[in-house]
Structure 1
Amino acid sequence: MNIIPAIDIIDGQNVRLTQGDYDKKTSMKRTPEEAIAFYSSFEQVSRIHIVDLMGALKQNAQESTVIQELKTRTALPLQIGGGLRNTETLEKYDAIGIDYFILGTRAITELEWLGSVVAKYPGRIFVGVDARENDIYINGWTENSGITIDDYIRQIEDLDIAGIIYTDINKDGMNQGPNFDNTKRISELTRHPVIASGGVRNKTDLDQLESMGITQAIVGKASHNDDFWRDIR
């Protein structure tokens, strides 16, 4: 199992939201700089997931300076999401050495644009499928896109993406475990790697995902808990 710990940023601070609610923000004990150094010490960590939360809400990148600094502090690949709505932003992140881009809202609603950036950055784009039940949500999880997971996956099957990051919004930050059933179902719908996200609590959850054929998982709130890492070791 490849563990991908998450660093979510607002105003340069390391925070977590509950179910994507910006009014339910909790500050984490480590700064983004401290967190990236800590996560980089574990051999089970394959890359680090960084989200510009205000970028997602305001529809343009807000934390590029912080992210550039974080890139200098680890040898691990970084995957960046939040506010990546145009090719210029991707070019800017590419120029500072960011390895992977996570595209959400515009990648969901504008497939022609998604196809164009995938052609420019083949194998480096993850599509973020953030959902309640089978409905994909956009704009920082605040708006129902009107597009279902099943319909969307069919339309992106032939694109050369790095994978699909599936987040069950209702599980995110709730310490209840991921949506195992839907994660498995989605993985059976596509040839693309599916990365589990939202609700992962402990090694038991990771083992269950692995038994279903899921080999990558983003760990958010639990990754800030030292007990989680003691179990991993």
Structure 2
Amino acid sequence: MSSLSISSAGTGHHSRALVLFSGGQDSTTCLAQALTRYEHVETLGFDYGQRHSVEMEIRPSAREALTEAFPEWRDRLGEDHVLSLDVLAQIGGSSLTDDVAFAMQADGLPNTFVPGRNLLFLTLAGALAYRRGISVIVTGVCETDFSGYPDCRDDTMKAMQLALSLGLERRLLIETPLMWLSKAQTWQLAHELGGDRLVELIRRDTHTCYQGVRDQLHDWGYGCGNCPACELRARGWAQWRGGMV
């Protein structure tokens, strides 16, 4: 677990959390965990001109599926917020926002990297948390099974936690439950949180595919099966089902 997590989470004054929720496997797992720990949980999504905009379309149904499958979470799940960040598409240069093929860049990062994306996400999440009286921000970034994105690293999260706490003059915690987990371990965490019901919900009701494909259902969920996000999700599923956790 991330070193940013605290043992008292979900108790005392840390009773309200804001989950950065894209509708994908990772953020849905984080949302499920937050609903087991906090009295009140709100969600935040970002429309930044992503090519796989289908993730914005399935977010509401994924939230609803959680409360249908786990009625005990319904009273804890609060408001959903969506903010526009089309400035990222205006900057361009990423295969997630431009119609270009997936490839590696000269700097060693994949061109799926959207510079500043998570930094902006967390800054706006901090501002919203301030207005909503929330002290915990939960995000599904990961340094173990990721594409090399520098804004997913533990050091970046610690720096953002400090900057937001100072800049808002309010103690904010950034929790990263998946920071040191592989994709197989993320599937395992979902199973520990909600058993086969949650695993099946994540498999069928979430979206990860960068191509936005929703008409091909694989063992691990919907997707094209070829983009980096699908390959990572499929590999993690195979390792988890094979007991390689």
**TM-score normalised to the size of structure 1?**
0.32
For CA contacts below 8 A with separation 6 or more, give which structure has more relative contact order. 2
Structure with greater proportional helix content: 2
Larger Rg: 2
**TM-score normalised to the size of structure 2?**
0.31
